[in-house]
Amino acid sequence: MPPIMPPIADHPLRYALANELHARPFPAMAAPCHVLYLAVKQPEGAAGRDRAADRAHLLALLDRFGAPHPPPGATHYSGEIGRHGLKWESHTEFVTYTAFTPGVADRPFDPAKFEIYPGDWLERATGARVTSCLIRVEPMPADEAAVGPLLAGWFVPESLACARVAGGAAVVAGDFRIDSNGHMRFAVFARPDAEPRRLGRIIQALCEIETYKSMSMLGLARVRRLGPRMGELDGKLTGLVGDMTREGLRAEAMLTELLAIASELERLLVESSFRFGATAAYEAIVHDRIAGLREDRIDGRQTFQEFMARRFEPAMRTVKSGEARLQRMAERAMRASDLLRTRVDVERSAQNQQLLASMDRRADLQLRLQRTVEGFSIVAISYYAVSLLAYLGYPVARWLGLGKEMLTAALAPAVLLAVWLAIRRIRRGLE
């Protein structure tokens, strides 16, 4: 049978990009079980993610359980470590570990379960903990109302967010507070007919909501850290702009100070641009994951969306406001620098005009002085010329019966006229 279409070369990245859409499948989970989630990020200011160190840290954990290694360059891994399932993912700024085990402990959110990640292995982590979560997954009680008393004992009522999700497949709850053991807590009550992969997607969404919420809050920390310095620069900038109309202003000195402020604002903007951009991206992911849960309210309790609207959104608005303020300050500084540079140019032009006028006056004075000197030069040259001609003409004058005085008087007008004409001709030739 002939081929349906003639052969054609594939783009080198065609299969890699197509497979990327299926590279991070949701784990299949069934109630009861518990999930232990950890996200690790390298410290602020690091030169970049050391992916080789992240991989080495993962392999150190796998080797403890004799688990197979992922292929070189892998950005995700799923396998078994002992009686636990493990999912590892490498992201742009952080890596995540998700361990899940069938069954739940008698003690809700028992921190001992987190010992699947050995203490000495955690100490050698490639960065700092962004978040860690204990997720307890239980079957839905026959009476859904029985969930309420359990949640009241597990979470802080004032912060509790609870909703029925995925078309009623499960009830999820959490208060987004760090417990005494350093973990976030989430509870999932799954209906018996909840499909395992759907339950896995719900749990994955909870982990991602918590992770990207935490990563987004790094933008708030950056804005708070920049706030005092931005206030100082804003005050200096306002003062300089106000002084620009003052008489007797040293424009060049002020321009230097303005350019220093503009340079620092630009530096702050460049240093913070990645964090602000990442914060906006993470915020969008948080809202996407919450929207994907398709929440339904339970007994008038606040949903995850309402919790984020009350607690998370103000922080994100603060980040956007700080970013916009920094951009506006940088633009103001540049505009003020342009205005002051224009004033400096105008002042320099006026100074240049004054200098040219002064040069014209000096040139005119020099010309007058030159003409005066020329007059003296004519007299001096004529004097010596008359004296010389008189000496030469004495014999002739004596033969003609003329005295020395008569000879000198006769020669003087002619010599003066000749010298004057010669100097005038020379000056015209030079001009």
| DSSP conformational letter for 296 | B
The residue among 352 and 287 whose pLDDT is bigger is 287
**Has this prediction a pTM greater than 0.85?**
no
Among 47-51, 241-245, 309-313, the range scoring the smallest mean pLDDT is: 47-51
**Which is higher by pLDDT, 303 or 24?**
303
Rounded average pLDDT over 215-230: 94
Q: Which amino acid is at 369?
A: L
**pLDDT value of residue 180:** 92
Per residue in 224-244, pLDDT (tens digit) is 999 999 999 999 888 888 777
Confidence of residue 425 (pLDDT cuts 50, 70, 90): confident
Of the two residues 6 and 321, the one the predictor is more confident about is 321
pLDDT-derived band at 355 (thresholds 50, 70, 90) equals confident
> Domain boundaries in the chain?
24-194, 360-430
- C-alpha of 141 from chain center: 50
The three-class DSSP label of residue 39 is strand
Would you say residue 12 has pLDDT above 80? yes
Q: What percent of the chain has pLDDT over 90?
A: 53
Q: With bands split at pLDDT 50, 70 and 90, how would you rate the model's confidence at 431?
A: low
Residue 182 has pLDDT above 70, yes or no: yes
Order across the sheet with 128-139: list the strands: 76-81, 84-90, 94-102, 33-41, 128-139, 184-190, 170-174, 161-165
pLDDT at residue 2 greater than cutoff 60? no
Distances (CA, A) of 232 to 113, 131, 227, 238, 261: 49, 34, 9, 10, 10
Closest to 203 measured CA to CA, from 288, 137, 301: 137
Report the pLDDT value the prediction gives residue 373, as an integer from 0 to 100.
66
Q: What is the pLDDT, as a whole number, of residue 23?
A: 65
Rounded Cα gap, residues 333 and 305, in angstroms: 40
Cα 344 to Cα 90, 154, 250, 350, 368, distances in angstroms: 54, 69, 9, 10, 36
Q: State yes or no: pLDDT of 341 exceeds 90.
A: no
Average pLDDT over residues 210-231: 95
Residue 7 has pLDDT above 80, yes or no: no
Average pLDDT over residues 205-231: 95
Residues 26 and 87: their CA atoms lie apart, in Å, by: 9
**Helix H segments across 177-250?**
196-243
Residue at token pair 């309420």: 148
For the residues 169-175, what does the mean pLDDT come to? 96
User: 104-127 pLDDT, tens per residue?
Assistant: 988 999 999 999 999 999 999 988
Question: What pLDDT shows up at residue 14?
Answer: 82
- pLDDT per residue over 59-84, tens digit each? 999 999 999 999 898 888 999 998 89
Residue 403 confidence (pLDDT): 67
Higher pLDDT, 314 or 92: 314
